[in-house]
Structure 1
Amino acid sequence: MTGAVLAVDQGTSGTKALVVCPERGVLGVGFAPVRPRQLSGGRAEVDPFELYDSVVDAGRQALAGADEPVVAMGLANQGETVLAWDPDTGRPLTDALVWHDRRAESVCADLTEHADELRQLTGLPLDPYFAAPKMAWIRGHLTREGVVTTSDAWLIHRLTGGFVTDAATAGRTQLLDLDSATWSARALDLYGLSDERLPDVVDTAGPVGTTTAFGPEHPEIPLTGLVVDQQGALLAHRITGPGGVKCTYGTGAFLLAHTGDTPRRGPSGLVGCVAWRLDGRTSYCLDGQVYTAASAVRWLTELGVINGAADLDRVGGAVPDAGGVTFVPALAGLAAPWWRGDLRGSLTGLGLDTTPGHVVRALCEGLAAQVVALCETAATDLGVPLTALRVDGGLTRSSLLMQTQADLLQRPVEVSALPEATSLGVGALARLGADTTLSVEDVLPDGRPAAVYEPRIGADEAAERLGRFRAAVTTLLAS
């Protein structure tokens, strides 16, 4: 199959769409913003129609830019964002609770005695970050009507009329049996969701239905690729077997390590989950999260410290170091490997001589130090040392952040030449799902990095800087 495909990545702060041709590369690009509401008490929600409209708007922009037909479409999603909706009409019954929403902490507190059992069943720790606690909270506090699902199932229904979710997304709910990649009756029972109508769990590549949502110029586009955003990026990095590790720097930072066809439970704090399922065969990965990355940069922007992410290098580059400032940017809590979403961030070591540049450098060190913790945990769980880190996402444009990452990690950081790795990953799945004669290797983009950052400081200095960050985290954990 040589035709172009439409690849759509529906993310937290916007939807990106690409029209990609295997011979000619990216032919069209689209973007539509999404504006979640950040509310008190760690709550975050968004109008579901804003999610759907962003998919349609971004897709139409990309298709108009390409100005040619596409043979298939792929859709990546946020993973843990959930809503209730009417399966007969497609009408939302609630707003969508965004993945970092914390209001389901009470649900998790009630299930504390079952935390180990749930982790063994599903690979996931008990935390409101995942979908099942939010689903149970919606049922207990908002509505008993309709169905309650992750956002992808609703988007797919709006696009095609189908009622499905892919195995990787289902694995983000804490309702999927990690070994069989099927819904777990026991997990459903523990969450009080046994009577729920759940979407069928399908492969990440394969025909799902067709859509006419992008206008009469593009009728009947087959939807043939589905995946969680981070797993899509893992695929785009050509990490298709054990040993490879990638980190995506978006609203949060997300590290995934492929573990082959055997699930791991991540005893050191990482999450065991489905990477993808192709032709009924499941591949697995370990997953670690930093809740606030680009969102922490936006926070500094809103405070007036910088004018935006493009300012990181200019402002941070005005000073040689963080000037004794330590920033734990846990603005939505600490995720893996600590799993303390209840914590708030800290900014210490301030003085009358502290400048915006010191704060920017401290932020970069705080983000990089959290990723180092994830890398070290992944190496422990896998039993092999990390040789390099492959990275993508908007914040990789910051040379300061990427150099800081290499310095603290003491390993090379390979920046992807693919600025939209998730879109390209789900585009590869769409191509694979539309043409059964192709192999995974046939559909993957070129994996050569655009830049490689090597450590510029010694191991002793890296350890000293990491030690200051870890001491600050220890203080938070004890508070």
Structure 2
Amino acid sequence: MKYLLGIDQGTTQTTAVIVNEMGEMLEKNSAQLPARFPQAGWVEQEPNDIVRTVKEACAPLLDKYEISAVGFDNQGETFIVWDAETGEAVTPAIVWQDTRGQSVCDALASSVDPNLLRQKTGLLLDSYFSAPKLKWVFENNPDIRKKAHEGKLKFGTTETWVIWKLSGGKLHITDPSTASRTLLFDMNTFQWDDDLLKLFDVPRSMLPEIKPSAGHIGDVDFGNGRPLPLHALLVDQQAALFGQACFNAGEMKCSFGTGSFLLMNIGDKPKLSNNGLLTTVGWNFNGHTAYAFDGGIFVTGSAVQWLRDNLKFIPDSASSHKSARNSKDMGVVVIPALQGLAAPHWRTDVQGAMFGLNRSTTSDDIVRATLDGIACRVYEVVTAMSQDLGQRPPHLKVDGGPSGNPYLMQMIADLLDIEVRVSAALEATAIGIANLAGMSALGTSFNELAQNWKSETSYKPQMKKAEREKKLAQWNKALDAVKIFHK
């Protein structure tokens, strides 16, 4: 049996899995990754902690299995700057949630053509992405800027940093899917873009080499003296899209966690959204290219945590299902915009709200309305993607903790009027990157991986059309009121 190691370097933890050649997970191990919040809007991690968690997650698996290939996925926009000679970080890992680059975006807004930016990158001018935060580092640390322009510093997202460390400084690499999250990359040419580098004052010398998403890239050593071949690189959400076997245009997945991250495969040509979505590279290797529409909802699991921890309405997250079933008042509406409205609205100023409260309103009604609000947010993003592509998805594949909530999954199926399939694999992201490594190293086919994908359960739509239309009309009225309130 051939074994594959998949590493999912996420925001809160690093997870390593062992997958066999059939794409089945045999074992996993995780290591928690702490974050710090030095001031409002700043989110940082210790760069050496990231390397440590990768080694810790992999350590128990390395001696147990004869590993044929390694795949590595990453947080996306989080980045580190380090000294090219010593390998020592000169910045913390500045996390994708960090907003310190907003002042850079505000300063550049009047001189940037947003349509041209979208045509090149598929993205918005937003602090979410790496380049504005990197420019902020340069503006606030002249010595770092000077050394960068002298060719003495290196830039990288988390996989670039870890692989640099695990290869002893031999590999300074990324892949097109990750590069497409920086605002420095042209998704049409698959190259770093000179105009964007100039806009954000980034010297080309500090950027990693862009390698295909799959193929033998080089060897990495986890500290046990036995180098392993690295065969796959992707952003975490793209790895989940691959892990969910969404290989054809129109197929899509939603990964639930703190937020909900939806990606739809849109085929081998980039398309721009008319409905507030991002366009990103799915993967690019050996003649296989996929682009994806990207729609993030920042509050999902965290809304249920809010019900549990702040409002004390439920003892644990799993209880939200039972509580929602007990609700009698269907007139209560909750807009769960606890961190603004992301895709497809992009209204960071909007805050959460409740409507329809009366003397008989119970905590169960508010729990139910919050889950309905999450489902409505998913409905909005899936609908926007369907309109942009010109076709509805055949079904929605889901993974992550909240996908185990039967009430929420049934409501999403009812609102979308399509089947929702819950992945049997809990670690779709890590399995996805392992499977991509297997495609490169073992010759596994797309068809084999699609056939091996299994659902744990599925939810078929049950709601009548009139009830669906009434619920969505109620949601839209509440949403309009919230947007007006925050104008």
By the TM > 0.5 criterion, same fold? Answer: yes
Of 466, 470, 474, the residue aligned with 2:476 is: 470
The match for 2:210 is 201
TM-score (norm 2): 0.90
Deviations 1:242-266, CA, capped at 9 Å, x for gaps: 1212111122211111111101111
Secondary structure, counterpart of 1:43 in structure 2: coil
Which residue identity lines up with residue 98 of structure 1 in the other structure? V
Query: 1:310/1:87 Cα in 2 relative to 1: closer, same or farther (>3 Å)?
Result: farther
Secondary structure, counterpart of 1:317 in structure 2: helix
Query: 1:10/1:174 Cα in 2 relative to 1: closer, same or farther (>3 Å)?
Result: same
The match for 1:212 is 221
Write the distance in 1 (CA, Å) between the matches of 2:14 and 2:302: 16
Query: 1:348/1:98 Cα in 2 relative to 1: closer, same or farther (>3 Å)?
Result: farther
How far apart are 1:349 and its partner, in Å? Answer: 3.8
How far apart are 1:171 and its partner, in Å? Answer: 0.7
Of 390, 397, 409, the residue aligned with 1:390 is: 397
Which residue identity lines up with residue 464 of structure 1 in the other structure? K
The match for 2:336 is 329
Aligned pairs for 1:432-447 (under 5 A) are 432-435=439-442, 437-443=443-449, 446-447=452-453
Write the distance in 2 (CA, Å) between the matches of 1:181 and 1:372: 32
CA contact (8 A) 1:41 1:103 kept: no
Secondary structure, counterpart of 2:452 in structure 1: coil
Aligned pairs for 1:271-282 (under 5 A) are 271-279=278-286, 281-282=288-289
Which residue identity lines up with residue 428 of structure 1 in the other structure? N
Write the distance in 1 (CA, Å) between the matches of 2:156 and 2:478: 38
CA contact (8 A) 2:23 2:452 kept: no
Query: 1:348/1:138 Cα in 2 relative to 1: closer, same or farther (>3 Å)?
Result: farther
- Work out whether 1:171 is the aligned partner of 2:180: yes
Q: Percent identity?
A: 36
Secondary structure, counterpart of 2:215 in structure 1: strand
Aligned pairs for 1:73-472 (under 5 A) are 73-113=70-110, 114=112, 115-142=114-141, 143-144=144-145, 145=147, 146-160=153-167, 161=169, 162-194=171-203, 197-213=206-222, 215-216=224-225, 219-279=226-286, 281-303=288-310, 304-320=312-328, 323-435=330-442, 437-443=443-449, 446-472=452-478
CA contact (8 A) 1:135 1:149 kept: no
Write the distance in 1 (CA, Å) between the matches of 2:124 and 2:309: 33
Write the distance in 2 (CA, Å) between the matches of 1:308 and 1:445: 36
Write the distance in 1 (CA, Å) between the matches of 2:402 and 2:61: 23
Query: 1:342/1:147 Cα in 2 relative to 1: closer, same or farther (>3 Å)?
Result: farther
CA contact (8 A) 1:46 1:95 kept: yes
Query: 1:279/1:409 Cα in 2 relative to 1: closer, same or farther (>3 Å)?
Result: same
Deviations 1:130-160, CA, capped at 9 Å, x for gaps: 2222222222234435333322211221222
Secondary structure, counterpart of 2:326 in structure 1: coil
Which residue identity lines up with residue 175 of structure 2 in the other structure? D
Write the distance in 2 (CA, Å) between the matches of 1:352 and 1:39: 42
How far apart are 1:351 and its partner, in Å? Answer: 4.5
Query: 1:37/1:355 Cα in 2 relative to 1: closer, same or farther (>3 Å)?
Result: farther
Structure 2 residue ranges without an equivalent (≥5): 148-152
Which residue identity lines up with residue 378 of structure 1 in the other structure? M
Which residue identity lines up with residue 417 of structure 2 in the other structure? Q
Query: 1:402/1:278 Cα in 2 relative to 1: closer, same or farther (>3 Å)?
Result: same
Write the distance in 1 (CA, Å) between the matches of 2:351 and 2:81: 29
Aligned length: 472
Write the distance in 1 (CA, Å) between the matches of 2:67 and 2:198: 43
Which residue identity lines up with residue 127 of structure 1 in the other structure? D
The match for 2:150 is none
CA contact (8 A) 1:153 1:199 kept: yes
Q: How large is the RMSD of aligned CA atoms in angstroms? A: 2.2
Write the distance in 1 (CA, Å) between the matches of 2:474 and 2:61: 46
